[in-house]
Amino acid sequence: MRRCSECVAAGNELVLFTKGRERSTDDECPICSRLLPLEDNKWMLQTCCMKTTCLGCAYQTRMSDDCPFCRAPNAVSYEEDFPTIKKRVDVGDPVAIHYLGDSYMKGINGFERDVPKAVELLERAAALGSKEAHLQLGVLFDRFSVDWGIDKDLARAVGHYEFAAKQGKALSRHNLGVIEHNTGSKGLALKHFMISAKLGDTDSLEKSRTCSKGG
């Protein structure tokens, strides 16, 4: 059985399955307090204040072009946006550092793709507690490592997935289930899938059904 560092310290394997069974309060829209949808295209990051709002709240101020949270006028270009982001990165805001790392990783938001730079930023954000950065690093070392010129490192991936999963990150929990399933630990896989299904991941719901039928 795989044990995270916390489990080893606690002398058992249970920590990983007792933490992160609910989504955390920082997954709520700061305006309406509803949990943000898990799907990528159903929420919006406001780069002025680095708050993520639901689309409903985001569109409420669309007409006035202000941020629905801090009321700052929306930047009209990436160039105009950058000094604000840079300022937040410099003071160590994990959301801003993750945003910049993600932008370099994907080559979006006005940035050229630069994987080594992205990994450095994601690791900084992760060290500051960003569960999104942990998930992204997990995926990087688990799956896309060959394409991106990075050595696959499953132990490293699992460490990152476990951190985010213990904070209620559904996709991290799901990916731990996939790893357990692939290595033949069907029981542990099922435990992970049941938690991520409860967190709202529909793919996990399907997987937990197949798993419990012995698949």
Residues contributing to the site for Zn ion (CB under 5 A): 4, 7, 15-16, 29, 31-32, 46, 48-49, 54, 57, 67, 69-70, 72
CB 8 to Zn ion: min, Å: 8
User: Which is nearer to Zn ion, 15 or 170 (by Cβ)?
Assistant: 15
User: Which is nearer to Zn ion, 65 or 206 (by Cβ)?
Assistant: 65
User: Which is nearer to Zn ion, 119 or 194 (by Cβ)?
Assistant: 194
CB 194 to Zn ion: min, Å: 16
Please name the residue ranges forming H helices in 15-153. 15-18, 55-60, 78-90, 94-106, 115-127, 131-142
What does the DSSP 8-state code read for residue 42? G
Phi, psi (degrees; rounded to nearest 5) at 42: -115, 20
User: Which is nearer to Zn ion, 76 or 146 (by Cβ)?
Assistant: 76
13: which residues sit within 8 A by CB, 6+ positions away? 1, 3, 7
CB 42 to Zn ion: min, Å: 11
CB 186 to Zn ion: min, Å: 18
**Residue 120 and residue 140: Cα distance in Å, rounded?**
13
